Amino acid sequence: MDRYLIIKTRDELLRIRIKDILYLEADRNYTKLLLSEGIQFTFAINIGKIEEMLENQVVDYRSMLVRVGKSYIINKNYILQINLPRQKLLLLTPGGKPRELVVSKEPLKALKDALEKEGSRQQTSNNNNDTETREI
């Protein structure tokens, strides 16, 4: 089942599938939204308010979207590379077009650590499933 974020402004309403969000970027009191297909929107709403909307509208949105520092909310499913020394985060769209973001070192390291933990939990879970399959 697809989950949606609905953003309402005075003049418009936008209904976005969560899995189609590549990232959201803070720009003072505005937020830029880039979809995986390359379509971009800008709202006169700050990124903190967008995060509140996500919390109120989408159950477990954090399984897909993660806040990275003060400037970004990114879709974890599109992460291709994290480069700490260069402070770069490379996202890859379904069409194969890379998008490079410059992110502060500390939030980038926290993201890397979180993804590593997530990966090791998945590996442990897969190993347990393999063991259970062999025992049957």
pLDDT of residue 136: 47
Distance of alpha carbon 81 from alpha carbon 64, whole angstroms: 16
> Which candidate, 25, 61, 19, 55, places its Cα nearest to that of 40?
25
User: Which amino acid makes up residue 64?
Assistant: M
For range 8-23, the mean pLDDT: 92
**SS3 state at 27:** strand
Cβ of 71: how many Cβ atoms within 10 Å?
17
pLDDT 10s digits, 32-58: 999 999 999 999 999 999 999 999 999
Going by the DSSP 8-state scheme, the letter that residue 38 receives in this structure is S
Query: CB of 40 within 8 A of CB of 59?
Result: no
H or E segment at 8?
strand 4-8
For range 24-38, the mean pLDDT: 95
pTM for the full model? 0.85
For range 5-20, the mean pLDDT: 92
pLDDT of residue 58: 92
For range 55-66, the mean pLDDT: 92
pLDDT of residue 94: 86
pLDDT 10s digits, 91-134: 998 888 899 999 999 999 999 999 999 878 777 766 666 555 44
**pLDDT > 60? residue 82:** yes
The structure tokens listed for 128 are: 């347990």
pLDDT of residue 134: 47
**Parallel, antiparallel or unpaired: strands 21-27 and 4-8:** unpaired
Residue 31's DSSP bridge partners are 26, 43
